[in-house]
Amino acid sequence: MITMEQGTVSTELSNGIARIVFHHPQSNSLPGVLLKALGDAIHAAGKSTDVKVIVLMSSGEKAFCAGASFDELSSIETLQEGSKFFNGFAYVINAMRVCPKFILGRVHSKAVGGGVGLACSVDFCFATRNAQLKLSELAVGIGPFVVGPAVQRKAGLAAMSQMAIDATQWHSAEWAHQKGVYQHIFDSVESMDDAINALASRLAASSEEAMADLKKILWEGTEHWESLLPFRAEISGRLVLSEPAKRAIDAFKSK
């Protein structure tokens, strides 16, 4: 049973549109139990005959997603625990990859680390001008190994390298739009939601078979992610046990 302290994931269905909403009290960060619930929700929506299109979003007005839970990162003591935690991100990304329904992303504010991975794994992403991006993993002694393939697929190797290496640098929503991470950016949440609702409604009225076939084509060449992402999770699971990572995570938590 997931508790309020661990976060929440809910699915709201209306007129064929499933809105999957995740929340965590610490800036919508992602502990393992929340990652499992989020992946399960995406799989369930993908299998439901009542769902025609999915909108992935987080709650609140602050960060869209702060990435990995630092409380959980600091508690990891074994390679098995580390691999299991980072496999949570692999599970969510692969769930979005194989989902036969189009997933629209709603990024209302900043996205960090795993949050960038979510934004890059949806099929079509909307954002506000406040939705800055940062791949902060290297700054805490790890690296964006699991989310890297999703970021590279959407933004290209050069942009992914720029974010991964300059790990403390924020990148603007305009930059992300230019790189193809965001398809549209808006001055307000209200105008973004209007655009999301309009596209979701059009897609909900479209051919399910055509959309499913198109999604397969758009994700061609990623079939190996089923094994690649868990392999990458083992790398992160090993590095999170290193002394540099432990010092960096403790320093971040003490701020």
- The predicted structure's pLDDT at residue 251: 86
Nearest CA to 241 among 86, 32, 115?
Answer: 86
Cα 135 to Cα 43, 62, 83, 87, 181: the distances in Å are: 26, 18, 19, 18, 13
φ, ψ at 202 (rounded to 5°):
-65, -45
Half-sphere exposure of 138 (CA within 13 A, CB side): 13
User: Under a CB-based contact definition with an 8 Å cutoff, are residues 42 and 79 in contact?
Assistant: no
- Rounded Cα distance between 32 and 162, Å, is 27
In angstroms, the CA 180 to CA 125 distance is 9
In a domain, 210, yes or no: no
**What is the number of structural domains in the chain?**
1
pLDDT for 67 equals 96
Tell me, what's the pLDDT at 92?
Answer: 98
Domain membership of residue 213 (yes or no) is no
Residue 229, CA distances (Å) to 40, 57, 95, 148, 211 in order: 17, 23, 12, 9, 25
Is 142 a domain residue?
yes
> Does 214 fall in a domain?
no
- Give the separation between CA 203 and CA 23, rounded to whole angstroms: 26
Contact 42, 95 (CB under 8 A): yes
Q: Both tokens of residue 57?
A: 């979003």
The span from the CA of 119 to the CA of 117, in Å, is 5
Per-residue pLDDT for the chain (255 aa), expressed as one digit of tens each?
456 577 999 999 999 999 999 999 999 999 999 999 999 999 999 999 999 999 999 999 999 999 999 999 999 999 999 999 999 999 999 999 999 999 999 999 999 999 999 999 999 999 999 999 999 999 999 999 999 999 999 999 999 999 999 999 999 999 999 999 999 999 999 999 999 999 999 999 999 999 999 999 999 999 999 999 999 999 999 999 999 999 999 888 777
For residues 80 and 46, the answer to whether their CB atoms sit within 8 Å is: no
Predicted pLDDT of residue 1:
47
The single-letter code of the amino acid at 120 is C
Q: Could you list the residue range(s) of the whole structural domain that residue 35 is in? A: 4-205+224-253
The tokens for 134 are 């940062």
- Does residue 194 form part of some domain? yes
Q: Could you tell me which of 109, 11, 8, 117 has the C-alpha nearest to residue 56?
A: 11
In contact, 145 and 117? CB cutoff 8 Å: no
Residue 218 lies in a domain: no
219 part of a folded domain: no
Which CATH number covers residue 76? 3.90.226.10
- For residue 146, being part of any structural domain is answered with yes
Of 138, 222, 220, 126, which Cα lies nearest the Cα of 176?
A: 126
